[in-house]
Amino acid sequence: MTQEKSLAAPHFLSNAVLIKQGAEARVYRTEFLGKPMIVKERFPKRYRHPALDEKLTHRRTVQEVRSILRCRKAGICAPVVYFVDYISHCIFLEEIMSSLTVRDHIASIQQSGSCKEQELEYIADRVGQILATMHDEDVIHGDLTTSNMLLRCGLEDGDMEDMVIIDFGLSYISALPEDKGVDLYVLEKAFLSTHPNTEALFERLLKTYAASSKKSSAVIKKLDEVPQLTLSRN
Amino acid sequence: NQTQQLELFPEHRVTQMLFKEVKNAAELRRSAVDGQINGALVNPTMLVSPFQVLVAANKALHLQKIGKMKTRSLYSEIIFNLSPTNNISEAFKRFGISDGDESVMVVLVHSQDESQIVSDIAAKVDGLQVPVAEVSSLSDTAKIKKLYKVTPREEKCGTLEDAVICRMATKDVV
Ligand SMILES: Nc1ncnc2c1ncn2[C@@H]1O[C@H](COP(=O)(O)O)[C@@H](O)[C@H]1O
């Protein structure tokens, strides 16, 4: 009923730059209210019943926004939310300028020559600490990969956090250790397949996670219970 | 004056005017309540920047278009949107002007060619108009941090403005 009353955002986005066409959302880059922004637009899935689809899409949008806010309050950098349109399911987000993904950063350290071990360990420790804080806040990211972690380049302010977590599209709030375990499991799979010969590095990440999180022992136990994972570790 | 077009509502403009040394705040407030001033009169000490007002105005117009405003008019909705809570009377108390106030931010939403309306309202204010960007020098940051519950941890992820905008944009679902 209300849908047709809100063509403003889709109309505006028809002139924005599409940077990613995903299975459930399109991501655009644009300028909005005078700032560079990223807009994430969830679109209807035709194979689902419209009312159900609307409900699920609304819930995903709400969860994404809630997770971002909860992270920021805990000191984990995530893009600022500027505006949410719950009719056309658009989230207007801060564009993280001059950043590179942790994925590209690790790859370039691995390619370069000397003293790379320390730099890699720094990254692993940062990720471990951030995920520990995030899980202590009961935020489950849902799609942890090194592409969804950005590093701000050339920060002048030494007090500012340098790592930014993005794409909370599959995130939700949960206190269950198994949900956190699966979150880490998803990262482990992505990490080891993206970055060759990083088993020891990922172990370090987990160790830092365990040391930084107040509730990590149950989570690590759950992570170890995922059978394939136990196999690949030993 | 600072006038900006809203990308989602190209037929609308938002004009902000900042006044200091205001002598007739009580009279202005009464005129707004009586409907004689068609604009939002905002307490600038609770604002971090003009951008904050723009975000509130954009959301107000959006909610007006889809028939989901929480208050009775576009201008009260702008004031309500500035607040981190869903308590309407508290929003007016904090973000509206009070009788003794010495500074006022006037916010107008209009179509392209209504400079007359803008200057008519400016003429009602007995005060000194200053550039809108000066609002940041009037901000009571301690009070703002307390009201929006901004912690030092969060300030490591961005500016106070970022924290404030995030609260405003997400308050309906948290
Ligand atoms: N807030 C952001 N700032 C900068 N780039 C982003 C942001 N959000 C998404 N991107 C880029 O857009 C791609 C797709 O976004 P997403 O679907 O959120 O993963 C990401 O892999 C990033 O390269």
Reported as a pLDDT band with limits 50, 70 and 90, residue B137 is very high
A 120-179: CB under 8 A from B: 159-161
End of a domain among A47, A79, A94? Answer: A94
What residue ranges of chain A have pLDDT lower than 50? 1-4, 229-231, 233-234
Q: For residue A233, is it within any domain?
A: no
In B9-151, which ranges are continuous DSSP H helix? 25-33, 50-65, 74-82, 88-95, 115-124, 135-138, 141-148
**Chain A contact for B65, CB < 8 A?**
yes
**Cβ atoms of B153 and A75 closer than 8 Å:** yes
User: Which one-letter amino acid corresponds to residue A43?
Assistant: F
Interacting residues of A226 by C-beta distance below 8 A, sequence separation 6+: A181, A182, A185
In this prediction the ipTM stands at 0.94
**Chain B contact for A6, CB < 8 A?**
yes
Is A79 in the same domain as A162?
Answer: no
Which pLDDT score, from 0 to 100, does residue A230 have? 44
Q: Is A85 a catalytic residue?
A: no
Pick the catalytic residue: A125, A143, A162, A179?
A: A143
**Cβ atoms of A28 and A107 closer than 8 Å:** no
B62-99 tens-digit pLDDT: 999 999 999 999 999 999 999 999 999 999 999 999 99
Q: For residue A1, is it within any domain?
A: no
Cα separation values, B147 from A76, A113, B84, B143, B168, Å? 21, 51, 8, 6, 12
Continuous segment of H or E residues that includes residue B170: helix B160-170
Give the three-class secondary structure for B19: strand
Which pLDDT score, from 0 to 100, does residue A225 have? 86
End of a domain among A62, A94, A126? Answer: A94
Q: For residue A6, is it within any domain?
A: no
Is A78 in the same domain as A107?
Answer: no
What residue in A sits closest to B170 (Cα-Cα)?
Answer: A65
Which pLDDT score, from 0 to 100, does residue B1 have? 81
Which pLDDT score, from 0 to 100, does residue B35 have? 87
Is A89 in the same domain as A123?
Answer: no
Is A47 in the same domain as A146?
Answer: no
CATH number of the domain residue A84 falls in: 3.30.200.20
Which pLDDT score, from 0 to 100, does residue B128 have? 97
Which pLDDT score, from 0 to 100, does residue A228 have? 57
Concatenated DSSP letters of B70-85: SSSSHHHHHHHHHSSS
CATH number of the domain residue A191 falls in: 1.10.510.10
Residue A77 DSSP code: B
Which pLDDT score, from 0 to 100, does residue B172 have? 92
Is A111 in the same domain as A222?
Answer: yes
In chain A, which ranges are continuous DSSP H helix? 8-13, 50-73, 102-111, 116-136, 177-194, 199-212, 216-225, 227-233
Is A151 in the same domain as A121?
Answer: yes
Half-sphere exposure of A151 (CA within 13 A, CB side): 15
B8-67 tens-digit pLDDT: 999 999 999 999 999 999 999 999 989 889 999 999 999 999 999 999 999 999 999 999
Cα separation values, A96 from A6, A25, A46, A83, Å? 28, 19, 32, 16
Q: For residue A16, is it within any domain?
A: yes
Q: For residue A2, is it within any domain?
A: no
What residue in B sits closest to A59 (Cα-Cα)?
Answer: B173
Q: Whose CA is nearest to atom 19 of ligand 1?
A: A167
Is A70 in the same domain as A108?
Answer: no
Q: For residue A169, is it within any domain?
A: yes
What is the C-alpha separation between A131 and A137, in angstroms, rounded?
10
pTM of the model: 0.93
- Give the domain range for residue A124: 99-227
A139-174 tens-digit pLDDT: 999 999 999 999 998 777 667 778 999 999 999 999
Q: What average pLDDT does range B107-120 have in this prediction?
A: 87
Interacting residues of B36 by C-beta distance below 8 A, sequence separation 6+: none
Residue B37 DSSP code: S
What is the C-alpha separation between B34 and B42, in angstroms, rounded?
16
Is A109 in the same domain as A221?
Answer: yes
Is A62 in the same domain as A125?
Answer: no
Is A136 in the same domain as A220?
Answer: yes
Half-sphere exposure of B46 (CA within 13 A, CB side): 25
End of a domain among A78, A94, A110? Answer: A94
pLDDT at B113 over 80: no
Continuous segment of H or E residues that includes residue A101: strand A99-101
A6, A82, A84 ranked by CB distance to B65: nearest: A6
Q: For residue A68, is it within any domain?
A: yes
Total domains present in chain A? 2
A4-35 tens-digit pLDDT: 467 899 999 999 999 999 988 999 999 999 99
Distance A167 CA to ligand 1 centre (A): 7
